[in-house]
Chains A and B, each alone.
Chain A
Amino acid sequence: MLLKNFRRAALGFGLAVALTGGAQAEKVLRVGNMGEPESLDPHFVQGVWENRIVGNMFLGLTTEDASATPIPGAAESWTISDDGKTYTFKLRDHSWSDGTPVTAGDFVYSLRRILLPETAAEYASLLFPIENAQQVNSGEVPADKLSVRAVDDKTLEVKLVGPTPFFLEQLTHYTAFPVPRHLIEKHGQAWTKPENIAVNGPYTLKNWVPNDQITLIRNDKFYDAANVKIDTVVYYPQEDRTAVQKRFRAGEIDWAADFASDQFEWLKSNLSDETRVAPYLGIYYYPMNLRKPPFDDKRVRQALSMAIDREIITDKVLKTGELPAYSFVPPGAGGYGNPSMVSWMDEPYSARLEKAKALLAEAGYGPGNPLKFTLSYNTSENHKRIAIAIASMWKQHLGVETELFNSEVKVHYRALNSADFSIARAGWIADYNDAQNFLYLLETRTGPNNYSGFSNSEFDKLMVEAGTTGDMDMRSSLMAKAEAIAMEEQPVIPIYYYVSKNLVSDRLTGWEPNAKDVHRVRYMDLK
C-alpha cells in the first residue's frame, strides 16, 4: 500500500515536472542573509544584510555591475562641471513598479527626506558632500536650500561642497536611492508594506514575515527586466553561521553571505568550489586613546605596533585568507595608488622587536616599570582569540602587562565613542570604494569616529587639500602623504585587511567576487 502510494506520488511528480518543463520553471534564489533587516526603507538601512535586499529593489542614479564597478543606473548619462562641483544627471525613461514615472523631483524629494532632522536617519551624514546637506540635517537651513534641483522631469542638478571624485561611486549607496514620494505621502511609514510599496529596481517586495523570510519577485516594470533571469529571491534572516552552513549543504539555500571562520578548513577540503573568499575593503585595527598616557607617547604606540606578528594572527589564528595589515587603507581602494605602509614593514620580526624594546625603554618602560593597560574588545570568539594572541606577544617580547576587557557590542562602542578606553578593537568597512573613506577616520574634524582622538595639523591640512583639488593624481598623492604621517604617528595599529566569505552554490552563475562584496541578483542565473 505504502509502495503504491509512493509510486502514485512519484508519477504525479513526474507529470508535474513534465507539464512545467515545457514552460519555464520558476527560478528561485534562496539567500542565507545573516540578519533581520531593521527596515526596507533605504533611508533607514544601515547594514550589509539590508543592502543585499534593498539594493535589488531600488536603483540609484548610479548602480553596480557584477564586479561592483559603478555604472549608469536611474541616470543614463551625466556631465560634471569643470570645477568638479556640479553634476547634471539625465534620467533614464523609467517608472516605479506601480507605473508612475520616476522623475528628477523624486530624487530631490528623497535626498531632502533623508537629510531632514525629523526623518532622523542614522546614515544621513554620508550625503554631506552635497552643498548645504549638513546644514539641512542640523536644522540650520530649510530643506529647500539643499543644492539639489530638478531642472525638468528628467534632469537633475546636484551641487557639491567641493570636488568629490568618489561621488558617482557614492551614489550607488542606499542613502542615495530614490523613494516614491507619492506613496510615502499617502501611506506614511507604512509605505514599505508589500501592499503599498513601489520600487524602481529589478525586484519588488512580495512579503516580509519578521524573522522568517523576505520574498522579492521580479519587477516587470524594471527598465532592464528583459535581462533579469531569476524570478524570486527569498532571504532567510538566520544568523547562526553553523546552522546556515548546514542548510547550504542540505541544498536549502543557494548563497550564504558568510560562514564561520573555524569551518574554513573543512569547507576548503569538502566544498572548495563553492567556498568563496575574496579581499574586502575593510580594516581590523586597534585604536589607542591618545588623549591620555601612556598612548600620548608616540614611542609607546610604535613599539606596540612593531611587536605584533601579524602573520601569526592571519595564518594561525584566523586562517581564512585575511592579509596582514601594515597600512590603514586596504590595498585596492579606489582613487588611490599603493597605500603608505609603516616604514618598518619589511624588517625582520626580530629586528622590529629590538627596536620596539629600545623605544619602550626610551619612553621609560622596562622590567622595573612595566607598561600596563587594558585592551577592550566586544564579544566574539575571534576578537578574543586575537586579543589573547596580541597580549601574549606584548607580554613575551616587551614585558607589557595587558588586562583583557570584554563587553557586549553596544557597551564597547559607547566606550569608544566617548573616549573611555585605553586600547581597543575596532573595524571599518568602506561605505564607498575610496581611500578617503578610511583616512577621514583619522581627521580631527571627524569627531567620535576618530576613536583615538588623533589630531595632527599636517594630516588634517593634507586631507583638506585632497578634498578640494580637482586633480586626481594630486589628490591621491596628498592622501598618500597623509597616510604616511598616520603610519609614522601610529594612532591606530592596523592588524589585518578583511576578506569577504561566501558560500555560493555551483548552480548559481553570475555571482562575481569583488572588493565591496556587493552582488546584485539582476546579473545572476540559476542552472
Chain B
Amino acid sequence: MIAFLIRRLASAIPTLLVIITVAFFMMRVAPGGPFDEDRALAPDIEANILRAYNLDKPLVEQYFDYVGNLLRGDFGPSYKIRDFDVNDLILAGFPASLQLGGTAILLAVILGISFGTLAALRQNQASDYAIMTVAMIGIAVPNFVMAPLLTLVFGVYLSLLPVAGWGGGALENKLLPVIALALPQVAYIARLTRGSMVEVLSANYVRTARAKGLREQVVVLRHALKGALLPVVSYLGPATAGLVTGSVVIETIFDIPGIGRYFVQGALNRDYTLVMGVMIFYAVLIIALNLLVDMIYGFLDPKVRHG
C-alpha cells in the first residue's frame, strides 16, 4: 500500500508539470491580453504596466520565473484584482466552495445511493419508473434553470430564504445553492447505483449469499451494495473535485464567494496568474481525489490489490 502511494505520488509530479506547461502557453496563445480595454492605453503607460508585471520579458523567461515562484508556493499577483494575490483569492474562496460542494456531494451520495438501491430492488415496478423518471428530469434540467426557479419560488414569492448572498456562510444562505448543486448529482448517482445494482443482484456471489439463507437486508447492504458501489465511487472522484472547486453557474446566480467564478472571470479577463492558480489547484485536487478513489476501490473490491 505504501509503495503504491509513493509510486502514485511520484507519477503525479510529471502530470502536474505537463498541465502547468500546457496551460501556461495556451493562455498566452489566446488573443488579447489582461490590459486590453475599450480605452486603449497610451504606449508609455502600456510599457509601464507590462514592465511592472514582468510581461515584457521573453515568454520562456516568464515561464521559468513562474515555475520558480510556484516551487516557493507563490502563485503570483492577480493582474486584475490588484489588492489580492492569487494565493489570497484561492484561500478566501475555497472554504465557501468546499462547504457548498462538500455538502452537496454528501447529500447526493446519501440520496442518490438510497434511491438507486430502492429502484433496483423494485426493478420494473412503479416506484422504479417513478424514481428513474425524476432522475432523468434531474439530469436533463440544467443548473441555470433550476437555480433561478428555486430563488424565484423560495426567495421572491414565499420569502422563506435569501435569494442570494453568502451571509458569512449562514445555513439559510446555503440551502438553495446546495440543493441546486446536489440535484443533478442525486439523479446521476441514483441512475448509476440502480444500473450496477441490478447487475450485481444477479451475480453469483449474491446468489450464493441468498442460498446461504442470509436475510435480504444483509444480502443487499453487506454484499450487493459493496459491489454495486464501484462505478459510483469512480464517478465520485472527479465529481467531488468538480463540486468542491466551485460551480461557476451556482456561484454567479447565488453570489457566492467561491473559486468557481475565478475560472471564467480569470479567463475572460486574461488574468493569466489567476487562471493558472485555480487550474493548478484543481489539478492537484483531482489527482488527490482519484488517488483516494483508487484506495477505496481496494477496500471495496478484493480483486483490486495494491501491491
Contacts and interface: CB of A to CB of B under 8 A. Distances in A.
Interface of A: 36-41, 44, 46, 117-122, 124-125, 134, 137-139, 189, 192-193, 208-213, 236-240, 242-244, 246-247, 249-250, 252, 408-411, 413-414, 416-417, 426-428, 447-449
Interface string B159-194: 100111110000000000000000000000000000
Contacts of B83: 37-41, 189, 192-193, 208
Contacts of B37: 46, 122, 413
Given A249-B156, A410-B270, A120 B164 contact: no
Most B C-beta atoms less than 10 A away, residue of A239, A410, A448: A410
Contacts of A211: 93, 251, 255-258, 261
B80 interface: yes
A210 B253 contact: no
A177 B251 CA distance: 34
B271 to A, nearest CB: 10
29 contacts: A36-B265, A38-B80, A120-B52, A122-B35, A122-B49, A137-B45, A192-B83, A208-B83, A210-B89, A211-B258, A212-B96, A212-B257, A238-B252, A239-B252, A243-B151, A244-B164, A246-B156, A247-B163, A247-B165, A249-B163, A252-B164, A252-B165, A410-B32, A410-B33, A413-B37, A413-B38, A413-B40, A414-B32, A449-B40
B203 interface: no
Given A118-B48, A252-B165, A125 B36 contact: no
A194 to B, nearest CB: 11
Given A122-B37, A410-B269, A250 B81 contact: no
A368 to B, nearest CB: 37
Most A C-beta atoms less than 10 A away, residue of B82, B151, B252, B257: B82
B38 A238 contact: no
Nearest to B271: A38
B84 A210 contact: yes
B31 interface: yes
Nearest to B78: A38
Nearest to B50: A120
Contact of B51 (A120, A240, A447): A120
A426 B40 CA distance: 12
B269 A124 contact: no
B138 to A, nearest CB: 22
B155 interface: yes
B44 A137 contact: yes
B45 A120 contact: yes
A44 B251 CA distance: 26
A239 B38 CA distance: 19
A427 B37 CA distance: 12
A418 to B, nearest CB: 9
Nearest to A450: B40
A119 B48 CA distance: 8
A426 B38 CA distance: 8
Most A C-beta atoms less than 10 A away, residue of B35, B36, B255: B255
The size bracket of the interface on B is 35 or more
Contacts of A428: 38
Contacts of B256: 211-212
Interface string B228-271: 00000000000000000000000111111110010001001110
Nearest to A124: B45
B28 to A, nearest CB: 13
Nearest to B53: A120
B3 interface: no
B5 interface: no
Contacts of B214: none
Contact of B252 (A236, A240, A413): A240
Contacts of A427: 38
A414 B33 contact: yes
B101 to A, nearest CB: 16
A120 B49 contact: yes
B218 interface: no
Task: In the A-B complex, list the 7 residue pairs whose CB atoms are closest, starting with the nearest.
Answer: A410-B32, A448-B40, A212-B257, A120-B52, A238-B255, A211-B257, A138-B44
A242 B148 contact: yes
A238 B106 CA distance: 27
Contacts of A36: 81, 265
Nearest to A236: B255
Most B C-beta atoms less than 10 A away, residue of A137, A212, A238, A246: A212
Nearest to B261: A211
B156 A417 contact: no
Most A C-beta atoms less than 10 A away, residue of B48, B162, B256, B270: B48
Contact of A409 (B44, B163, B268): B268
Interface in B1-50: 31-33, 35-45, 47-49
B32 A246 contact: no
Contacts of A41: 82-83
Contact of B163 (A138, A210, A250, A449): A250
Given A120-B51, A238-B164, A250-B163, A125 B45 contact: yes
A209 B257 CA distance: 8
Given A117-B48, A417-B36, A38 B82 contact: yes
B166 A212 contact: yes
A316 to B, nearest CB: 26
B141 interface: no
A209 B40 contact: no
A39 B82 contact: yes
Given A120-B45, A211-B256, 14 more contacts: A38-B82, A40-B83, A117-B47, A208-B83, A211-B251, A236-B164, A236-B165, A252-B162, A252-B163, A252-B164, A252-B165, A408-B268, A413-B32, A414-B36
A257 B84 CA distance: 25
